[in-house]
A and B are shown apart, each in its own frame.
Chain A
Amino acid sequence: MGLLKHVLFWPVTGPAFLARFALETVQDTVRTELTDDQQIKEELLALQMELELGDITDAQYVEREAALMLRLREVREWRERFGMGIAGGPVRVARDPDAEGAEGAEGAEDTTGEPRIADAAGGASVELTLDWDQPPG
């Protein structure tokens, strides 16, 4: 019924509905881009390789690494803003009996520079892969 209603009452709800739909799609795309650090990580690996192969000097490395770190920090900030997990950073496991939802737990808006503390009360799992990886091709 939902979509049909929008089609039937097109002049009334249609364009607004479509606009909202499009906006959400755009937001999703932007959000994905803002919060994806895969590209930066690959660039970092490539940069390290260049240094290792002697293609760049130490000074060049340091300069480009600093630029990548800035980008990583930006991604991290966006991820925190969107309430997504980040790689690394503080973790708590034990429950605080007294301080329920205390410092840091409110998250995003605190400006003290302290990172939010992720909750790993579920403990951890360990992935172990002991097989022989098939090469591509």
Chain B
Amino acid sequence: MTEDTTLRRDESAPPVGRKTVPVGLYVYCIIAASEPREFGNIGLGEGGARVYTVHHGGLAAVVSDTPLRVFDPTRENVLAHEFVNETVMREFTLIPMSFGTLFRTQDDIIELLKSTYDTFAGVLEKIRDKIEFGLKVLWDRERVIASLEQHDEEIARLREQISQGSQDSSYFARMQLGRRIEAAVEEAGNRYVRDILEALRDTAVASRSNKPIGERMIMNAAFLVDRQQERDFDERVKEISRKYEGLLTFKYTGPWPPYNFVNIKLKLEKAGG
């Protein structure tokens, strides 16, 4: 294992007798910049590839040289992609490129910037100084049920009935109780989500509600926030998480580039021609 890694790192000795994979350019994002920039050796690939810019007019693509191949979306690769964008966004508003997008040559990138110039420039203007935050909310079902039982009269009544009633009546009461709890839990989930979104609404420009991941998540949202409102948004998130302390867990991340709000779609033509 170790030896293999050392061998591959030694760039002065390319493998003999094997066809080397041609080099292409991995594109991380599009920014508005007319002067060449370097972002350090932080790019995808072993040891960190040099990250630099390819320009056309006032626009630039942030790129690094990589073998022309398909990159697996492993955590390691995705984190590297994100790390470059996070570094760039400290100074620039950016349009993120989808993970794994490579271009054959600089000319291909320049051609892209040329053909989509006005669109890129317009979008960059619209998202200028706007950053994304992620908010995932998880619950502990048992705790939510316990809290509901204290407040829901019907649940309390059914419980009472079960503890006092005969075998028969308690069987039906149990079924009813199960159904009532199920419904109450769902209602509560929707209510929490609405309440949280409402609390954040006037401090964010836009929001996306993504599909929750796994059993415990009730909310998986992204918010686009103006840098000027960052502090307010932050304050609101803290307030609302205090409100639901002990009941809900908040996973708050960012700032991110606007991954959930901007999407570059390459107009791919059917290959093979």
Contact = CB atoms under 8 A, between A and B. Distances in A.
Nearest to B194: A135
Contacts, number: 182
Interface stretch (B72-80, B149-157, B176-184, B235-243): B72-80
A89 interface: yes
Contacts of B262: 126-128
A88 B99 contact: yes
A124 B19 contact: no
Contacts of B227: none
B126 interface: yes
Interface in A20-52: 42, 44-46, 48-50, 52
Of the four ranges (under 10, 10 to 19, 20 to 34, 35 or more), the interface on chain B belongs to: 35 or more
A72 B70 CA distance: 11
A73 B72 contact: yes
A91 interface: yes
A18 interface: no
Nearest to A107: B272
B103 A133 contact: no
Interface of B: 19, 21-22, 24, 68-75, 95, 98-105, 107-112, 115-116, 119-120, 123, 126-127, 138, 186, 189-190, 193-194, 197, 201, 205-209, 213-214, 216-217, 219, 221, 224, 251, 261-273
18 contacts: A49-B214, A69-B72, A83-B270, A88-B71, A89-B102, A90-B24, A93-B112, A94-B107, A114-B69, A117-B68, A119-B270, A119-B271, A120-B112, A120-B268, A125-B116, A126-B263, A129-B208, A135-B194
Interface of A: 42, 44-46, 48-50, 52-53, 61, 65, 69, 72-73, 76, 83, 85-94, 101, 105-107, 112-137
